[in-house]
Amino acid sequence: MKMDSNITIRQALEDIRIAAEAALQVSETRYRRLFEAAQDGILILDAVSGQIVDVNPFLVAMLGYPQAELVGKQLWEIGAFKDIQASKVAFAELQSTGYVRYESLPLETCAGEHINVEFVSNVYQVDRQSVIQCNIRDITARKRVEQEVEQLRQDLEQRNAELTALDEQKDHFLSVATHDLRSPLTVIYGFSELLFKGTMGPLNEKQTQSVAAIRVSSEFMLRLVEDLLDIAKITSGKVRLDLQPLDLVALAQRSIALNNILAYGKQIEITLCESEALPDIMADAFKLEQVLNNLFSNAIKFSYPQSAVEVRIARDGDTVTLAVKDQGQGIPATELAQLFTPFAKTSVQSTAGERSTGLGLAITKQVILEHQGNIWVESQVGQGTTFYVSLPIARNP
């Protein structure tokens, strides 16, 4: 009975050993496969001597040295790790800390090709022996892409600097152009004004006509210079708005009064319809004046003599909307979309030969958009046109 049980135990132990060996075999095979098939280079070193114990095929291929030439050598004996001193230092560090890592290590392959690798080493115990496993990943391609990206970044930076310089040059050019154009125009306009008004003595009819032509032309040229500057500034985002709560009705009244002086010649009157009490809007007074002036002077320009221009201001939710309605020719529907683009030509003619720079509405739209406002138009040929401008109301402090 005792014999039997001893045999049974021995048999069981034997079974366990066989099973363990089989399991070990499976494990060994599994890890060997991983080692053999890994798409990273793996190097196993003896932690004490620094001798290479094993090299996986991927590393053999990466470095180009036959496996036999690698195994048994010390790390720094291999051409790839040519910097003996650095390799020794790294190895010493690895021995003391059990871990080293290089983000990017330059190596030379057997064929003399320079590659970059990411190098990570760990020390661990196998059969009471310290071994070092080095994982080596070829990052040459990644490195090259990084370098290309860096090069592109530098190129972009340089390009950006060049553009900034060009932009500054353009601004300088514009400011010089304004000054240099405005000065002689001031002289032309000023003297034609003095002559036209007879300040320097009376002129005959032909002289008056001639001087009037000079005066009107210089005035138009000045407006063109101003408008060009405005549009250049707006498109380059150089407009700084000085936003403050403003009474749109009061501003409109002032602008209407000024434009009614011009409208008088065509017997046109701009009227502001009575409105409820309105909250202040948030706007830049100077810029808004420009917008209102443009809308009102346009209305006069395209209105028939002896017609009326009606202005209404009303609250519309979080905005206040101003509408300028004329009884002019109206704009064909097909031309409405391009109305706010610079130098857009429409078939609509001014009713008294007034000239346009073609920039007024483009500037107006940009100014309104900068204010987070909105501008739109409704028109019917033969009936007239209404321009709408809405601006955000000022929030109570």
Partner 1 sequence: MNTQKKVLIVDDESYIRLLLMQTLERLEDYGVEVLQATDGPTGLAMALKERPELVFLDVMMPGLDGFEVCQQIKAAHNHIYVILLTSCGQSLDKQHGMQATADEYITKPFDPDLIFGRAAEILKLEISDDFLNPQG
Interface with partner 1 in residues 17-46 (CB under 8 A):
none
Interface with partner 1 in residues 270-329 (CB under 8 A):
284, 286
Among residues 66, 72, 190, 332, the one that binds partner 1 under rule CB under 8 A: 190
Interface with partner 1 in residues 357-396 (CB under 8 A):
none
Which of 185-193, 247-255, 333-341, 371-379 is the region at the interface with partner 1 (rule: CB under 8 A)?
Answer: 185-193
CA distances from 316 to 177, 258, 279, 319, 376 (A): 42, 27, 11, 5, 14
CA distances from 128 to 27, 28, 93 (A): 19, 17, 21
Minimum distance of partner 1 from residue 210's CB (angstroms)? 16
For β-strands 243-246 and 114-126, DSSP reports them as unpaired
One-letter amino acid at 130 equals S
Total Cβ atoms within 10 A of residue 343: 11
Minimum distance of partner 1 from residue 173's CB (angstroms)? 14
Minimum distance of partner 1 from residue 189's CB (angstroms)? 5
For β-strands 269-272 and 308-316, DSSP reports them as parallel
Question: With respect to partner 1, which residue has the nearer C-beta, 66 or 198?
Answer: 198
Total Cβ atoms within 10 A of residue 368: 21
**Collapsed DSSP state (helix, strand, coil) of residue 243:** strand
Which of 43-51, 178-186, 259-267, 337-345 is the region at the interface with partner 1 (rule: CB under 8 A)?
Answer: 178-186
Minimum distance of partner 1 from residue 233's CB (angstroms)? 9
Q: Rule CB under 8 A: is residue 206 a binding residue for partner 1?
A: no
CA distances from 150 to 144, 163, 174, 198 (A): 10, 20, 35, 70
Among residues 38, 53, 131, 185, the one that binds partner 1 under rule CB under 8 A: 185
Look up residue 74 and give its DSSP letter. B
Among residues 11, 67, 175, 209, the one that binds partner 1 under rule CB under 8 A: 175
CA atoms within a 13 Å half-sphere pointing along the CA-CB vector of 155 = 6
Which of 45-53, 101-109, 148-156, 176-184 is the region at the interface with partner 1 (rule: CB under 8 A)?
Answer: 176-184
Helix (H), strand (E) at residue 312: strand 308-316
Minimum distance of partner 1 from residue 328's CB (angstroms)? 29
Residues in contact with partner 1 by CB under 8 A are 175, 178-179, 182-187, 189-191, 193-194, 197-200, 202, 218, 222, 226, 240, 242, 284, 286
